[in-house]
Amino acid sequence: MDVISVIRTKRDRGELSDEQIDWVIDAYTRGAVADEQMSALAMAILLNGMNRGEIARWTAAMIASGERMDFSSLSRPTSDKHSTGGVGDKITLPLAPLVAACGAAVPQLSGRGLGHTGGTLDKLESIPGWKALLSNEEMLSVLDGVGSVICAAGDGLAPADKKLYALRDVTGTVEAIPLIASSIMSKKIAEGTGSLVLDVKVGTGAFMKNLEDARELASTMVGLGTDHGVRTVALLTDMATPLGLTAGNALEVRESVEVLAGGGPSDVVELTLALAREMLDAAGLRDVDPAKALADGSAMDVWRRMISAQGGDPDATLPVARETHVVTAPSSGVLTRLDAYDVGVAAWRLGAGRARKEDVVQAGAGVELHAKPGAQVRAGEPLMTLHTDTPERFEYALQAVQGSFDIAPEGTEFTATPIVLDRIA
């Protein structure tokens, strides 16, 4: 087997054989295939695509490059959730303990933010003492004792994907749907969960900008999960507008705790419950109502135990940015648009995100929203507050939000976009 023949096959719109896929993934992981050669293959895949059989085999080869976790010793059924990323997407924080409070075990392997999208681990690390890195034994212990765990994926899970993703990030091939789907699903299948619910974001603040591309990605991932014996469902959800009223790290933790306490923004509560019902259904717990676990405090109890089990103090004061700047409404009327991407870029520029993986984020930085589309606003009243420890960042962040909203004349009718746009199963 040689890499040139593999590249030529896909370059010429051919179908890669199982043997070709197994060989090239293993050889690249071992360093026997050079980065420039794998870059050429990734570009050929971006341009010419893969069929379902190829994607399934590619995913299986990436899984085989590392270890697979086993949760068969747990007394509960396992269910996990993956979001394709967005702005203000703190859903994992209330969702994991909520589903655990309803009887499922939630092994939530999460990531960090890059660019305008926030990372779950960055948010949780704003809680004093909380740690993201757990050994497999520690993860299983927390999962067994608490019911939910949110942590970083270990280096042993799908190492081929880690290497290939870094390459795609610098070669303009991140957008290849076969590679996106296999990247996400190789880690989730190797994780060992029994069922999986995918939250595929759609809109300006999401990776998939339109419904057609989002459906293709969701269908591909649902097919991969099914082919590997994991019951998988996908919800397509709106990301044209930020979720909730905050985008940042400690800001989003604070809002998540409000949801667990029975309050919080209605859109965050709605999506949390929608995903919780899908996860419980996939785990075979169809008769449990997650809304009751929010109302009676049991989800909050699991949250506190989960944070404590990972070294965090659930009662600690969360970091607050040293400086703030208020953006006011230039006119009175109805707020009809608030662009998720622009808000995400502003939060990133304020220090809530990173441009490179090694960058350090500010725990207190971000954007706090005072109105969402459909709200009546008055000239001179606050629309959003920018938070940062470094005030020299304000000017750059303000450039991002200048054109992020539209205000229509008073009396203008506004129809809200539903949170859940479609379901793929």
- Judged against a pLDDT cut of 80, whether residue 267 lies above it is answered with yes
pLDDT tens-digit map of 36-88:
999 999 999 999 999 999 999 999 999 999 999 999 999 999 999 999 989 99
The band of 357, judged by pLDDT with boundaries at 50, 70 and 90, is: low
Name the residue type at position 303: W
**116, 123, 162, 168: which is the annotated catalytic residue?**
168
Catalytic residue among 79, 182, 183, 195: 183
Q: Exactly one of 89, 161, 199, 342 is catalytic; name it.
A: 161
Please give the class, per CATH, of domain 80-155+163-309: alpha beta
What does the pLDDT average to over 157-177? 87
Domains of the chain, residue spans: 3-49, 80-155+163-309, 323-408
User: Token pair 């299986």 is at which residue?
Assistant: 60
% of the chain at pLDDT higher than 90: 89
pLDDT digit string, tens, across residues 30-44: 999 999 999 999 999
User: Does residue 118 have a pLDDT over 90?
Assistant: no
What is the predicted pLDDT for the residue at 182? 95
Question: Do 187 and 157 touch, CB atoms closer than 8 A?
Answer: yes
Q: What is the mean pLDDT of the chain?
A: 95
**Given 163, 187, 188, 349, which residue is catalytic?**
187
DSSP annotation of 318 reads P
* pLDDT tens per residue, range 268-311: 999 999 999 999 999 999 999 999 999 999 999 999 999 999 99
Predicted pLDDT at 355 = 74
- Per annotation, catalytic residue among 82, 123, 162, 231: 82
The whole-number average pLDDT for the span 193-214 is: 95
CA 196 to CA 232: how far, in whole Å? 5
Active site residue 304: no
Q: Could you tell me if residue 127 is left (phi over 0), alpha (psi between -120 and 50 degrees) or otherwise beta? A: beta
Task: Specify burial of residue 371 (Cβ count, 10 A radius: 0-12, 13-18, 19+).
Answer: buried
Q: Which residue has the tokens 């419980």?
A: 280
What confidence tier does 343 reach under pLDDT thresholds 50, 70, 90? very high
Cβ contacts of residue 36 below 8 Å, gap of 6+? none
Identify whether the C-beta of residue 209 lies closer than 8 Å to the C-beta of residue 339: no
The CATH number, out of the four listed (3.90.1170.30, 3.65.10.10, 3.10.129.10, 3.40.50.720), of the domain defined by the range 323-408 = 3.90.1170.30
CB neighbourhood size of 286 (10 A) = 9
CATH code reported for the domain at 3-49: 1.20.970.10
Active site residue 161: yes
Q: How far apart are CA 178 and CA 166, in angstroms?
A: 16
412 contacts: CB under 8 Å, gap ≥ 6: 333, 334, 336
Apex 192 CA angle, 191 and 198, nearest 5: 75
Mean pLDDT for 232-245 is 98
**Chain position carrying tokens 């305008």:** 116
- Give the rounded percent of residues in the chain with a pLDDT score beyond 70: 100
Q: 168 catalytic, yes or no?
A: yes
Cα 407 to the chain's mean position, in Å?
30
Amino acid at 419: I
Could you tell me if residue 107 is left (phi over 0), alpha (psi between -120 and 50 degrees) or otherwise beta? beta
Task: Tell me phi and psi for residue 118, to 5 degrees.
Answer: -85, 155
Tokens read off for 389:
């420890």
The pLDDT of residue 115: 74
289: helix, coil or strand?
coil
Q: Is the pLDDT of residue 356 over 80?
A: no
